A and B are shown apart, each in its own frame.
Chain A
Amino acid sequence: MIPELGQFALVLALLLAIAQGVLPIVGAWRGNGALMAVARPAAAGQAVFVFAAMGILIHAFLAYDFSVAYVADNSNLALPWYYRVTAVWGAHEGSMLLWVFILNVWTVALAALSRHLPQPFVARVLGVLGLIGVGFLAFILFTSNPFLRELPMPADGGDLNPVLQDPGMTFHPPVLYMGYVGFSVAFAFSIAALLGGELEQSWVRWARPWTNVSWAFLTMGIVAGSWWAYAELGWGGWWFWDPVENASFMPWLVGVALIHAQAVTEKRGSLPAWTVLLSLFAFSLSLLGTFLVRSGVLTSVHAFASDPRRGLYILGFLVVVIGGSLLLYAIRAPKVATGKAFAALSRETGIMVANLLFTTAAAMVLLGTLFPLIGDALNLGRVSVGPPYFGFLFVLLMAPAVLLLPFGPYLRWGKAEGRQLTAMALRSGIAAIVCTVAAVFFAEGRLRAIAGVAGAAWVAAGTLAYVVKRWREMPRGRRYPAEMAGMLVAHFGVALFLIGVMLSESLSTERDVRMAPGQAESVGGYQFRFDGVRETTGPNWRADEGVVTVFRDGTPMATMHPQKRTYSRGQVQTESAIDPGLFRDIYVALGEPMDSGDVEGAWALRLYHKPFVRWIWLGGLFMMAGGFLAAAERRFRAKKAAATAGAPAKEQLA
């Protein structure tokens, strides 16, 4: 009975979403206050029913209700409770419910925190979010219902994909979706601005904190995903350029461009049409990512053939949302686009160049991801482009971005002076050269490591020099407003990230070895002694667990326990053992016994020494922190108060 209530809740949510999507927009168009006032209660109502549906699905998992097909497919009696909760988003239907759930989290937050904005504007924004909700709720109800029954009820269920039974997976999807779906808010602001033909740019200021927060969540989600792939796939890699990863990376790249473009438009009134377009792109790419991942159009032909309705539905939805919004842009952009001109040497130009680099990079990733499909269409056979394509083009596009990055804060709005820039370039250049020379000695001629150190020193020195400059020149309390602090933290994160990527890629050592108990091998200056394999069990698996003792110069450093798990449904999954450190990770993965009958004997092992790999995620976390910090900017809140009083927003020259 309870699962039917879940389905019923989704139907009610759909009806309320229709009300939320249609009435306030009509109201804003007709100037009808009563219709506009529907927006908030309808949004709240939709959220209540979506939250109820989510709760009911979680309950079904916790209560082992295997009469629900989705629960039976993705969990079983032996699965621990925390993985039964995360199994909710372990497959297609539940992921879609999570999508709508998070859309409602954002909508409710927006409804609650937008009381000071003009009513017609809020009505339009909530209306657009309602329409997006309609699309996804209908998709769930008609093609991907998680509450469908399976009768007769099986005594026990299948299993959650063992790859997903990892702590990283418990929070990676929700956080990633917070980012993905959060771009719907910036999207809704842009559509509302296009619909209303807002002549002044105040809407950009309202949209900025929301965009920054979504981008920060997306960053956190990608970092978590990358960390999970590193720890769980047992391959020592942290990024694979596979379509699912690319799907989250494209909105991230456009998001970088968007948060910078929004700053230009908000503060200077320049590039308004470009900012609108980027908000449309960011959310469109989120939807496109959902389409690519969920329709199976790229990864597996089979998943698609099993239910072509899903792919067709999403494609139709894309046409309506993206096509509709781009059409609206084409028609209405001239109304919004009254950008102010700026000099060739100015912060606006700098941001514009960075914007072009990042959007080109996103387009490059999109092209690479779609390449197999293009190959089919042009009858070239299924051509996949792998990491070499992405690696080469991405570095090519990002190298100038890294080169230009430290100049950013020194560039004045409107028209910059060349003198300060040369001074900055001189200082950072010297820092970079000194570090490079040091790196040459230490990296033994590995060019990528040296380039990484040079780039990171250049970015870090430029950023820190600006921190010092602000400290010297500005009075206390006005040195680092949140927005600027966020920018500096995020830019510093780029330097950390560069170190992590370049050093771990070029200095890592790995060995595949056959090891008998008692035998020792040496990798990257560490000695690994294999102490045999023992058997161990977990809640729903049993495993062969290797014991490896790691020594440095004869002193034991760590004991590592790589596992090879067999789950209750027979799936085998390796759990690599990682000894983390700020300057190096030691990573051990257990392979197969050399003689399959003799568990006591020799085993195949993979031993890695990965210097600085942790800095990759550390850099990502700095970028994330920068995003959150910038969103806390006082001005975003102060100006809203001014808008309530009906005072026209004055230009801010910070």
Chain B
Amino acid sequence: MSRFVPLLGFVLLVALFGFGIWWNTGHDQHEIVSPLINKPAPAFSLPVLGDETQHVSKQQLLGKPYFLNVFGSWCIECVHEHPVLSEQVKNLGLPLVGFNYKDDPKDAAAWLTEHGNPFDRVIVDRDGRAGIDFGVYGAPETFLIDGKGVIRYKHVGPITPEVVEKEFRPALAALAKEGG
């Protein structure tokens, strides 16, 4: 019977991939990409990159909407999205907060020197605890958090210019309409 073992192993793999496809289509970001959408962002107080004695908390960021971008120096896709982040997203005019996820702050600082630093400030989540509260799947991910500290929108995966036009702008427009 041992000759059926490879086939059985493969059946398990297919089940896993089938699940992956179902999960990814079922978790389309327009629908339920995060159960936290339209819920208050989790409370956090994290050290600032470069000066770990200083902390930034959720309260300090209240008052004005901002983008929170999850990145890490170990993340290849982050390199790909970086130019878009530095140009198109930056041009949207909102503060950009970097969320350095599961990374060595030294590597992160070097990475930002290397590729350029589009962030207004960068907070460090070294062990990924705060990431769990935010429901981070991996890097890169980008949250839009409004002035009241509510998560309004989340994008999973690298940002492309198309995503900025078709998703970020509408999300911002919705935010502006509500405010005005």
Contacts and interface: CB of A to CB of B under 8 A. Distances in A.
Nearest to B33: A301
Given A273-B3, A591-B113, A301 B10 contact: no
A303 to B, nearest CB: 7
Nearest to A334: B3
B14 A318 contact: yes
A304 B114 contact: no
Interface in B130-144: 132, 136-138
A401 interface: no
Interface in B80-116: 80, 82-83, 86-87, 109-110, 113-116
Interface in A88-137: none
B24 interface: yes
B156 A302 contact: yes
Contact of A326 (B10, B74, B157): B10
B29 interface: yes
Contacts of A592: 113, 116-117
A386 B137 CA distance: 14
A330 B11 CA distance: 14
A520 B108 CA distance: 25
Given A326-B6, A571-B83, A572-B83, A302 B18 contact: no
B20 interface: yes
Interface string B6-28: 11001101101111110111011
A373 B83 contact: no
Given A308-B25, A574-B115, A330 B17 contact: no
A474 B110 CA distance: 57
B29 A305 contact: yes
Interface string B115-152: 11100000000000000100011100000000000000
Contact of A305 (B28, B76, B86, B136): B28
Question: Which residue among B3, B16, B17, B155 has the maximum number of chain A CB atoms within 10 Å of its CB?
Answer: B17
Interface string A223-267: 000000000011100001010100000000000000000000000
A252 B77 CA distance: 24
Contacts of A464: none
A377 interface: yes
A52 interface: no
B174 interface: no
Given A300-B158, A301-B137, A591-B114, A315 B21 contact: yes
B21 A311 contact: yes
Nearest to B11: A323
A570 B19 contact: no
A372 interface: yes
Contacts of A280: 6
Contacts of B10: 284, 322-323, 326
B43 interface: no
A5 interface: no
Given A373-B16, A381-B132, A163 B21 contact: no
A512 interface: yes
A322 B137 CA distance: 30
Interface residues of B, number: 46
Given A570-B83, A571-B83, A302 B158 contact: yes
Contacts of B25: 304-305, 308
B79 interface: yes
Given A330-B3, A333-B3, A312 B116 contact: no
Interface in B52-76: 74, 76
Given A372-B138, A384-B138, A315 B3 contact: no
Contacts of B17: 291, 297, 315, 318, 373
A321 to B, nearest CB: 11
A312 B17 CA distance: 9
A163 B13 CA distance: 32
B74 A386 contact: yes
A606 interface: yes
The 4 closest A-B pairs by CB, nearest first: A300-B157, A382-B137, A302-B157, A591-B113
Interface of A: 161-163, 233-235, 240, 242, 244, 273, 277, 280-281, 284, 288, 291, 295-305, 308, 311-312, 315, 318-319, 322-323, 326-327, 329-330, 333-334, 370, 372-374, 376-377, 381-382, 384, 386-387, 512, 570-574, 589, 591-592, 604, 606
Interface of B: 3-4, 6-7, 10-11, 13-14, 16-21, 23-25, 27-29, 74, 76-77, 79-80, 82-83, 86-87, 109-110, 113-117, 132, 136-138, 155-158, 160, 163
12 contacts: A244-B76, A297-B21, A300-B77, A302-B158, A308-B24, A315-B17, A315-B21, A318-B14, A327-B7, A376-B19, A377-B19, A572-B86
